[in-house]
A and B are shown apart, each in its own frame.
Chain A
């Protein structure tokens, strides 16, 4: 919740200078991107990396301490925590990327169009966006999932609805800044169609802030999915999800304290990497404003 907000606020604020100096490095050498590639690869190749299924129970090895046969130990049903972590990465990434894609694909055109047209349409849309933003993200997502029912697809849609206003706002701010610029006025004077002006002429010029918002959106979405699953509304057991694993581990805080460490660290590292990438994209854009 608070984290989700923080990334939003960060979007509008100065990245620490050190980042700027580093921005010359190639993408492949960036630790954030490298980590994300590893997570994505591990999620895809999960069946190859572990011999246990994420829901396979071994009733005689319950809450086992990490060992060679179970690198991260086992949970209350003797399920392999590493396996659940890897398959949980699929859930996290699918919901994170999927929800952000939906939010961007719906939010950006909405912001562009209403910003360009202005007037009543704009006023109404922005009031709606304000209303959505006034409801704390976790509550809004909780309510949407409760109505639609749990399950990864519904969670992704709910998380997308929560993220949509940011994209709309950013796109709209871009349009407002560019609407009175000469190149836009020129297109209007040349009699170009509104749709063409908005999507062909303006969009490429306001793309940078939208691109920065994407890794931030993904990290927010991953946190939100984890929060929902933690509260029992997201991914349903026995399917693995990082938030659900933390929630279940709470009951075994005394008996198996390591149980919750791994999924928590997985969320934190992934979000850290995404935020790092966002900072990087932003500083690159600052040093190279011509883009």
Chain B
């Protein structure tokens, strides 16, 4: 893995990936270390036991197609994905042992692992994969993944465990599109929302909404020797403080997640708290370009320079999640350090820009944000104070998500603060978010859609399959967005995990999925 961008990268590596170090001694327990490098088993690994994970958001469903942020972290227990991403952002085999893209880029072949069993006792082969494809391509059952598979036209069975997918046109981000496509046991399709069911290392034993989900070891799991734990209990804490208290008291083994500002205090008290190794989300200010004075690019650029990222990071985010001025994860080759200095906080220059933008600033600006995280209203207050100081009149409206989203999508805002997805495993990842839609449903560009320069930039980016080249082309897209100044990144949205003393071999992938197949308890 590459060095993590966070301050405690060394410690993160040691704690999170201790298993890898023991790989040499492991041999026996796992199929060759090769593709499963991270899961090589330490000689000292103990089997059995119950691991309790405290989470601060309840699941919405157990259907992997419902990719809301509350659901995702625990899915890796129940479901396998065709590929998984390493912390170096490389695709690795998971349920697919092999894949091959056609020369013309119009189709791809996946070969599944041999001997994959489903939780209901069936085998997971080509037919099951095709059934999953049709389920996700249907609007009613596709959930959040429905639109992600828009370019995937057809699935054909090649042999018992090989499937060929055909595309409507070549698109180099095909692997990233299915990175969150969890494979459901076809026998469980009808009840998957409530009961779950896949091919993963753990079965769902019971889901008590608002309270807990209990996973038990799946004995027929295809990766021999895994998982190590007998049981994983995922307990819901509606209050972050209560979650932290439970972690400090030792009633939970893993806290998912610790509020950023409390990390330093907990570390001082001797607890292990680690940020996710690869950040994939960020807090971002978006502007409604349809409304004056924000239709004036100079006003937007002035606002961009009035975001005091350093203060946000230092105060609200406790110095854990660092400032970021671009939509790209610092761990990727597309990250451009120069942007960070170019777009740094500069109130003096902002005032000049505002002055040159002329009069007609209009009335009070409506700054919309939500309570999705406790940090959002706080960050909004810091930004509001700086805008106010520069002479812009700004009022904050805080809504809970249920009320926030309708207001946001209807364009009922001038400024908006939310957290969105960074370019992480693929340069186009950030475009999944609403603020970067290319059509008229983009809330910053309602009706008209974003300017053609942005769309051309994306087309140019997707015109090559060469990853290195794609990351390079991403830089010019990002520069274009920042110049147009409709989205102003503020700081990383970085989950931090409290890890109990007994927890070994805990892993978080670049999509924030907790991977507990190789996790064990040292007690």
Contact = CB atoms under 8 A, between A and B. Distances in A.
Interface stretch (A133-141, A171-179, A231-239): A231-239
Interface residues of A, number: 17
B398 A232 contact: yes
A255 B318 CA distance: 12
Nearest to A59: B311
Interface in B353-400: 371, 374, 377-378, 381-382, 384-385, 388, 395-398
Assign chain B's interface to a size class.
20 to 34
B315 A59 contact: yes
Contact of B315 (A55, A56, A77, A236): A77
Nearest to A56: B385
A237 B388 contact: no
B385 A57 contact: yes
B241 interface: yes
Given A59-B315, A62-B315, A251-B241, A77 B374 contact: no
A59 to B, nearest CB: 5
Contacts of A56: 385
B384 A238 contact: yes
Contact of A77 (B381, B395, B397, B398): B381
A55 B395 CA distance: 12
A291 to B, nearest CB: 47
A62 B385 CA distance: 15
Nearest to B397: A236
A68 interface: no
Given A232-B371, A254-B265, A238 B315 contact: no
Contacts of A59: 308, 311, 315
Contacts of A237: 377, 381, 396, 398
A250 B241 contact: yes
B329 to A, nearest CB: 27
B132 to A, nearest CB: 40
Interface in B388-423: 388, 395-398
Interface in A74-115: 76-77
Interface string A150-162: 1000000000000
Interface string A34-65: 00000000000000000000011101001000
Interface string B307-324: 010010001100000000
A56 B395 CA distance: 15
B71 to A, nearest CB: 24
Interface of A, helix, strand, loop or mixed by DSSP: loop
Contacts of A250: 241
B47 to A, nearest CB: 38
Given A62-B315, A76-B315, A251-B241, A57 B398 contact: no
A255 to B, nearest CB: 7
A77 B385 contact: yes
B92 interface: no
B291 interface: no
A56 B308 CA distance: 15
Nearest to B244: A254
Interface in B455-469: none
B437 interface: no
Nearest to B374: A251
Contacts of A255: 265
B490 to A, nearest CB: 15
Interface in A123-168: 150
Contacts of A55: 385, 388
Nearest to B371: A232
Interface centre among B385, B397, B398 (most CB of A within 10 A): B385
B396 A236 contact: yes
A36 to B, nearest CB: 31
Nearest to A146: B403
Contacts of B388: 55
A14 B316 CA distance: 51
Contacts of A236: 395-398
Contacts of B374: 251
Interface in A230-256: 232, 236-238, 250-251, 253-255
Contacts of A150: 397-398
A61 to B, nearest CB: 11
Contacts of A62: 315
B94 to A, nearest CB: 39
Contacts of A253: 241
B261 interface: yes
Nearest to A78: B315
Contact of A238 (B261, B262, B308, B385): B385
Contacts of B395: 236
A57 B382 contact: yes
A290 B206 CA distance: 70
Contacts of B241: 250-251, 253
Contact of A76 (B265, B378, B397, B398): B378
24 contacts: A55-B385, A55-B388, A57-B385, A59-B315, A62-B315, A76-B315, A76-B378, A77-B378, A77-B381, A150-B397, A150-B398, A232-B398, A236-B396, A236-B398, A237-B381, A237-B396, A237-B398, A238-B381, A238-B396, A250-B241, A251-B261, A251-B374, A254-B262, A255-B265
Given A77-B382, A236-B398, A254-B262, 14 more contacts: A57-B385, A59-B315, A62-B315, A77-B315, A77-B378, A232-B371, A236-B396, A236-B397, A237-B377, A237-B398, A238-B381, A238-B385, A253-B241, A255-B265
Interface of A: 55-57, 59, 62, 76-77, 150, 232, 236-238, 250-251, 253-255
The 5 closest A-B pairs by CB, nearest first: A57-B385, A59-B311, A238-B381, A237-B381, A62-B315
